[in-house]
């Protein structure tokens, strides 16, 4: 059973991550992350929708997609319970770390798009639903492992040249923590 610290889960569930270090990011196993050419102009109609499909697949555990759709300079913005702002996520590796840590408590978590994508220039908005099974290790949870969970959220992405450069997250953590029986403390 994966156990994740209170601070890590608190940050992850509302859009933050653990600082993954500086330098050039790499995926698990040391695989290099390749990025599309910066002079490629992939902002044609449909490009944002393709990125959103890959984004959902990434959140569903296809970590190899991070290097193809997440900018090395991605900026994550979220209001964290610990007062952080999500800026600790660095590049594709940081995004993989964020996703991997939340999936540690919910290993079969499955994201689907409920509304969208709504495209406005280089911005894309999706409302998502996450369904899964609690695997244990969530700080303060009184729910038994095996408890099913369902919660929602909204992602706003800025997509430039086929890469996500900015990510704003709003997730219904109250709904999730209620299902897990977390008591306010």
pLDDT band at 21 (very low <50, low <70, confident <90, very high): very low
CA distances from 63 to 70, 157, 172, 185 (A): 11, 18, 24, 34
Q: Which of 139, 131, 136, 144 is nearest to 175 (CA)?
A: 131
At 98 the pLDDT is: 82
> In whole angstroms, how large is the CA radius of gyration of the chain?
16
What domains are defined for the chain?
6-19+41-179 (3.10.450.50)
At 84 the pLDDT is: 61
* pLDDT digits 0-9 by tens, 120-172: 999 999 999 999 999 998 888 999 999 999 999 999 999 999 999 999 999 99
At 83 the pLDDT is: 58
What's the rounded Cα separation, in Å, for the pair 107 and 79? 24
CA distances from 160 to 9, 80, 120, 144 (A): 30, 26, 12, 43
What mean pLDDT do residues 103-120 have? 94
């Amino acid at each position: 059973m994966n156990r994740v610290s209170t601070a890590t889960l608190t940050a992850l569930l509302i859009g933050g991550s653990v600082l993954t270090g500086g330098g050039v990011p790499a995926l698990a196993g040391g695989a290099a992350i390749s990025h599309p050419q910066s002079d490629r102009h992939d902002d044609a109609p449909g490009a944002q929708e393709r990125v959103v499909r890959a984004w959902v697949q990434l959140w569903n555990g296809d970590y190899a997609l991070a290097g193809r759709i997440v900018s090395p300079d991605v900026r994550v913005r979220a209001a964290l319970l610990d007062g952080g702002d999500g800026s600790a996520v660095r590049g594709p590796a940081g995004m993989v770390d964020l996703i991997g840590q939340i999936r540690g408590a919910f290993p079969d978590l499955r994201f689907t798009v409920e509304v969208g994508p709504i495209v406005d220039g280089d911005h894309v908005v999706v409302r998502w639903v996450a369904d899964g099974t609690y695997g244990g290790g969530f700080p303060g949870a009184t729910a038994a492992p095996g408890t099913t969970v369902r919660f929602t959220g909204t992602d706003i992405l800025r997509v430039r040249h086929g890469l996500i450069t900015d990510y704003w997250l709003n997730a219904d953590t109250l709904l999730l923590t209620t299902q897990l029986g977390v008591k306010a403390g």
